[in-house]
A and B are shown apart, each in its own frame.
Chain A
Amino acid sequence: MHRFANPTTFMRIANAVFPWAAGLAVVLFLAGLPIALVTSPPDYQQGDTVRLFYIHVPSAWISLLVYGSMAVSSAAFLIWRHPMANVSARAIAPMGATFTGLALITGMLWGQPMWGTFWVWDARLTSFLLLFFLYLGYIALADAFEDPERGDKAAAILAVVGSVNLPIIHFSVEWWNTLHQPSIVKMGGFTVDGSILLPLFLMLGAFTCYTVAVWVLRLRAELLAVKLRNARMSEVSLSRMPAE
């Protein structure tokens, strides 16, 4: 794992993955959207609102996946001081916030017609709202200090501590009474029909590939920001040197 801590190695792999992820994201969106919106059948109970499933579940899935990656990167940064781990976490945090926001918005637009309310303060929805605030907290903390290293460290600690929320989100639909439907994945198979699984998996794939592709672009931008900071700091220290 430590091999990947080298920015050159890391970016070589990331750049090699980029065209595949970007291309696959386009293909999967083009394949998935017409099925999700047009050809897949309406649900016998939920009617056409079942189409919200194909964007709500992928958004929520990416929110959790991104947080997991951010927490692992932050732990690696705190334990081994790998700067690349920190760059990775900083690059991906705004993406996680975006997807969490989208999961909340699509969930609310689904909740109103199906439950009769946009929002209930039950365990699943509240823990997901907390996830959104954790992302915002990370982004705010990372840039809150004049010394960037202090900000990085504080944000990384928040990311690691906040990871306790991930199992709470996952199990909330089983531990507590909720309006939210339980997981469709059960031991030994799925609890929904194949006509729903196909668009779901296409959209899950599309969202995942999109996330990987945009993450690589954000990694490049974040690395340049670090280089710029270093270049400016060396300029400042040069200008402070006494003239010979």
Chain B
Amino acid sequence: MDAVTKVLEMGGYAMWVWPAYGAVAVGLIGLLLITLRSLKAREREFAAVRRNRPPAPGDAA
């Protein structure tokens, strides 16, 4: 238990180290989620557009 507390305390600098790691985690995971959401939304939109009209020669690329 002492080892865990030691890591959490960060030698007295916990209030600087942990928020910084938290910010990076939020930034990286957030960016990934936003990217995946917009990719899925556009894939759905594109599929809908394709259903509504005959395929054009450029669509395959």
Total interface residues in chain B, CB < 8 Å: 31
The total number of A-B Cβ pairs within 8 Å is 90
| A55 x B38 contact (CB < 8 A) | no
| B13 x A221 contact (CB < 8 A) | no
What 0/1 readout, one digit per residue, does chain B (1-34) give for beta carbons within 8 Å of chain A? 0000001001111001101110110011011100
What 0/1 readout, one digit per residue, does chain A (10-54) give for beta carbons within 8 Å of chain B? 000000000000000000000000000110001000011101100
| B11 x A47 contact (CB < 8 A) | yes
| B16 x A109 contact (CB < 8 A) | yes
Say whether A228 faces chain B, with CB atoms less than 8 Å apart.
yes
Q: Give the chain B neighbours of A94 by CB distance below 8 A.
A: 31
Instruction: Name 6 extra pairs, CB < 8 A, besides A47-B13, A55-B21, A224-B42.
Output: A52-B17, A56-B20, A102-B24, A217-B32, A218-B35, A224-B45
Residues of A within 8 A of B (CB): 7-8, 37-38, 42, 47-49, 51-52, 55-56, 59, 94-95, 98-99, 101-102, 105-106, 109-110, 112-113, 210, 214, 217-218, 220-221, 224-225, 227-228, 230-232, 234-235
